Amino acid sequence: MTRKPRAPFFVVNPKAYLYGKQSLDLALYADKLAAEYDIDIIFTVQHADAYRVSQATNNLFVCAQHMDGIVSGRGMGHILPESLVEAGIAATFLNHAEHPQTLEELVKAIKRAREVGILTIACANSIAEAQSIALLGPDIMVCEPTELIGTGKVSDVSYMKSTNQAVKDINSDVMVLQAAGISTVADVLQALNSGAEATGGTSGIVAADNPKKILTEMIQAVAQWKKENKS
């Protein structure tokens, strides 16, 4: 059975901002935070960095930023699920706004991820799309309006609550991540208070003057929220 993160959890998603040594450095720091605060952290990597990061860390869910629903054989240029498992990948994003997939591609990718034991994090940019993708049964849904990604502007609380409920009405087992524009501790708390199981960030962390400082503050906020709300 695919191991799932414990709510509330956090996603650090450097996209293509970081790679190689910089990615590893932040991953190692996130690994320490995960252990210190007992918070599950999903850390996305460039595919070329997957093995390096997975071998160097102990507490992270090392996550691919994309995976294709192919089987071993033909598939030049596509990402084979088994290759991710061999590289130490535990999870993968699917259908991100910056790497969209057709419905057929998404169905195949989720099916193959289940077969090899990779956690699926499927993205949707509207309530209607969130409902449709929730029917496919991904492990986690990311509900973020495309126009807010990377802007530092977060979804309003009503949108968060509406998408949370829309997903849960379709499949209560699907965990929900609210992450559009998360850049402050207040944003983190707003996402968790909306009823989502997780939040996370990209530019709000990696583009900050001190990425480790803001990441620490965010993880501390998640840990404190957990202490106050999960007792």
Catalytic residues: 96, 144
CA dihedral 61, 67, 72, 76 (to 10 degrees): -140
Q: How many CB atoms lie within 10 A of CB 215?
A: 22
Amino acid (1-letter code) at residue 40: D
The rounded radius of gyration (Å) of the Cα atoms in the chain is 16
CA dihedral 38, 204, 78, 67 (to 10 degrees): 40
Cα-flanking dihedrals φ and ψ of residue 198, to 5°?
-160, 165
Reported as type and span, the H/E element at residue 123 is: strand 119-124
Are 26 and 211 spatial neighbours (Cβ–Cβ below 8 Å)? yes
Q: Which residues contact 5 (CB under 8 A, 6 or more apart)?
A: 40, 42, 61, 119, 175, 198
Are 27 and 215 spatial neighbours (Cβ–Cβ below 8 Å)? no
d(C-alpha 35, C-alpha 80), whole Å? 30
